[in-house]
Structure 1
Amino acid sequence: MSPAMEMGAESWENEDEDQISEAKYQQGVKHLCDNIGIKRLPRKYILPISERPIFKNAEKNANCTNLPIIDFAQLQGSNRSQVLKNLSKACEENGLFQLVNHGIPRDVLNSMRDVTRRFFELPYEERSQYMSADMGNLVRYGTSFNQNKDGVFTWRDFLKLTCNPLSDAIPHFPTFPLDFRTVVATYAKETKFLSIMLMEAILESLGLGCDDINNTKMEEDDILKEFQDGSHLMILNCYPSCPQPDLTLGMPPHSDYGFITLLLQDNVPGLQIEHDGNWITVEPIPNSFVVNLGDHLEIFSNGKYKSVLHRVMVNSLRSRITVASLHSLPWATTVRPWSRLINEANPKRYMDTDFTTFLAYITSCEPKKKNFLESRKLITRQ
């Protein structure tokens, strides 16, 4: 560490944190680490004891690896019916699965990870051009989980990109690194196509056992047409190494709002899901996607499939980057339980909703866990 950096770290540790401008935290974790070189966690990032990443059973959480894996190639082959059953089970019991053999070339994945890492390595002055508190911006650089509402900040910086329609969005994307727009556009096209193929399988798995196969197929086709023009939000995440990772989180427990999220990880573990009262680490499988189910899919399935509660851990040794692609119906479309899944024995369990309702909710309160989904419930399953 240079003498200047050492002085910066010392002055930070000796400075009264109550007098530190909120603007320093709003500039992001990466800026904090790069320019101050902190050796201990600032108070702004220290979670209450009850919210810290303390395991009830650390050994079980660290070593659990039997999360469902779906082979996309088999899903397209003669074994489709069995894979659909496995998919349905994963959606009901876990709200998550790891997708392998998905068909997106390895070099596309590597390029996306690489350009993400290089973006966060840019000087702060370059990244900060896109910093905004306006959640409606096509491109938005920010920090924490919801920096407008978070009382305690989480150890994360992000870049959010609206990717549909892609041709309209690309001119707003960052111009540095120089290959950023090209790499992101290629990746966005690939993940969009994959998401539609996955949604086709998920819809088919929801319709398994329906007597009226022809009508079910027609309804599936209509829904997939909407997904062609559906929302696509890409979030590039950076979790710098943290001096005291046991006191904070990269992201707090939450569920995603859309139908499905395709998460591309690097080789640094960090994602955890809640399952049977335990936090389970999702170990990265090279060149795979983690597919999270979101609140919209739980609503659409009338509670048959579950959005997954998840959080992100940080560590003291290595930074971690991920790319999340969130897919749902068009912004203006109302999401409601599929009529085919509602009957006398299984009444409608959720209110209709749309993106405007979701945006109003998260801008008016601090989102925690699955609170938004809970606010849409009509019936609590016994």
Structure 2
Amino acid sequence: MEVEGNPIRVQSIVQDGKMGVPPQYVQPPATRAQHNSKKISSSNDYDALTPPVIDLSNANIVIEQLGLACREWGAFHVINHGVPIRLLDDLRSVGRSFFEDCSMDQKLSYSCDANSPASEGYGSRMLVASNDTVLDWRDYFDHHTLPLSRRNPPRWPHFSPNYREVVAEYSDQMKLLAQRLLGLISESLSLPSSCIKEVVGELYQNITISYYPPCPQPELTLGLQAHSDMGAITLLIQDDVGGLEIFKDGEWIFVNPLSDAIFVILADQTEIITNGKYKSSQHRAITNASNARISVATFHDPAKTRKIHPVFKPPKYHEVMYQDYVSSWYTKGPEGKRNIDSLLLN
């Protein structure tokens, strides 16, 4: 299906009033979201299978709490994180405005290259067409934001007058928080605070605003297939609809949105660097029949030429050039954690 030479966007399917899900979006039964996924309270109770909420202003216990969260979950909320709450709200607002207030022609004028994975712009496919099995029920806008040499605001929407300024400010704030968290993660392993940052090197940052339209048959689809992120650390915010799930102890756990919090997801390179002491978090997005959902993921990755290796001995993972890891991820597809597992030493 094409729209003026562009692959069709999921939002167009909904706007056309289709009552069923096109077959290319139907997940096989084994990967569909089950109705018994646990929806949880927002309390910070490990026994209730709730992702931890860590107050970064509590210097006395933050290292201990963070270490426990990294060992047990690979993901956690942070509050009092230093990023203005106004900025979180502004980014959600301009993102929603792009998807809901702009015409399809306006959005398509910012289309990404459908034949190149991770290209900047407006798209729907996670992988290039030749690697797709089942499509995700989402549209997105991906921004290349760091290093500054990659930042090209004219490639970003301008339909909200402050869109580009909001994205640039958000990028700068997320970098500071990512660097701070990598330092704290290092300290929680009794390493120098600079350790993980030095292995990762200069941060390459992408900001992806994902839009999940209402789905007429949510039991058949996923908004985003199960995967672990390929880079070092991901910082995510949701709107109040919610749809993020993380995999823990053999089941999928619903992550209730906390509007003032930022959800931290450890990615595969951090698992390698910590020699598996901290695991990257497998996660996915589910759909619903009534409400569109917005989430914003800010990815922090090494340079493609960076070699990533464990800092503990004996190593449990092969050293890997990040470019090779990315190529494998996009060639094989994410499918849970099979890419990181392929690096395990026998």
Question: Structure 2 unaligned runs (5+)?
Answer: 43-49
Q: Secondary structure at the match of 1:272?
A: strand
Tell me if 1:68 matches 2:52: yes
Normalising by structure 2, what TM-score?
A: 0.90
Contact kept, 8 Å, 1:196 with 1:227, in 2: the verdict is: no
Q: Distance in 2 between matches of 1:194 and 1:185?
A: 15
Greater mean alpha carbon deviation, residues 144-153 or residues 303-312: 144-153
For residues 138 and 251 of structure 1, do their structure 2 counterparts lie closer, same or farther at Cα, with a shift above 3 Å needed?
closer
1:357 CA displacement: 0.8
1:279-338: CA deviation from partner (whole Å, max 9, x where unpaired): 110001121011001000000000000001111011011000011001133332111101
1:187-224: CA deviation from partner (whole Å, max 9, x where unpaired): 101111111111110011122xxxxxxxx53xx43653
- Partner residue in 2 for 1:176: 158
- Partner residue in 2 for 1:272: 245
- Partner residue in 2 for 1:201: 184
Contact kept, 8 Å, 2:40 with 2:255, in 1: the verdict is: no
1:21 CA displacement: 6.1
- Partner residue in 2 for 1:125: 105
The correspondence for 2:225, drawn from 252, 256, 261, is 252
Q: Distance in 2 between matches of 1:83 and 1:237?
A: 30
Q: Distance in 2 between matches of 1:315 and 1:105?
A: 30
Greater mean alpha carbon deviation, residues 131-140 or residues 278-287: 131-140
Q: Distance in 2 between matches of 1:222 and 1:309?
A: 24
Q: Distance in 2 between matches of 1:186 and 1:71?
A: 23
Contact kept, 8 Å, 2:200 with 2:306, in 1: the verdict is: no
- Partner residue in 2 for 1:143: 124
The correspondence for 2:259, drawn from 280, 286, 301, is 286
- Partner residue in 1 for 2:134: 152
Contact kept, 8 Å, 2:98 with 2:157, in 1: the verdict is: no
Cα RMSD for the two superposed structures = 2.2
- Structure number with higher helix proportion: 1
1:244-263: CA deviation from partner (whole Å, max 9, x where unpaired): 10110001110001111100
Tell me if 1:40 matches 2:23: no
Q: Distance in 2 between matches of 1:31 and 1:106?
A: 32
1:232 CA displacement: 0.9
1:80-125: CA deviation from partner (whole Å, max 9, x where unpaired): xx32111111101111111111111111111100111111122222
Q: Distance in 2 between matches of 1:24 and 1:33?
A: 19
Tell me if 1:376 matches 2:343: yes
Tell me if 1:93 matches 2:77: no
- Structure number with higher strand proportion: 2
Q: Distance in 1 between matches of 2:33 and 2:199?
A: 39
1:179 CA displacement: 1.8
Query: Structure 2: which amino acid aligns with 1:150?
Result: D
**Which aligned pairs between 1:318-329 and structure 2 lie closer than 5 A?**
318-329=291-302
1:149-174: CA deviation from partner (whole Å, max 9, x where unpaired): 22221101111111112364133432
1:24 CA displacement: 8.8
Q: Distance in 1 between matches of 2:277 and 2:208?
A: 27
Q: Secondary structure at the match of 1:85?
A: helix
The correspondence for 2:81, drawn from 102, 105, 109, is 102
- Partner residue in 2 for 1:317: 290
For residues 137 and 267 of structure 1, do their structure 2 counterparts lie closer, same or farther at Cα, with a shift above 3 Å needed?
closer
- Partner residue in 2 for 1:165: 147
Q: Secondary structure at the match of 1:262?
A: strand
Q: Distance in 1 between matches of 2:119 and 2:26?
A: 31
Greater mean alpha carbon deviation, residues 164-173 or residues 235-244: 164-173
Count of residue pairs the alignment pairs up? 335
For residues 49 and 224 of structure 1, do their structure 2 counterparts lie closer, same or farther at Cα, with a shift above 3 Å needed?
closer
Q: Distance in 1 between matches of 2:214 and 2:6?
A: 16
Structure 1 or 2, whichever has the larger Rg, is 1
The correspondence for 1:358, drawn from 325, 329, 342, is 325
Normalising by structure 1, what TM-score?
A: 0.82
For residues 366 and 168 of structure 1, do their structure 2 counterparts lie closer, same or farther at Cα, with a shift above 3 Å needed?
closer
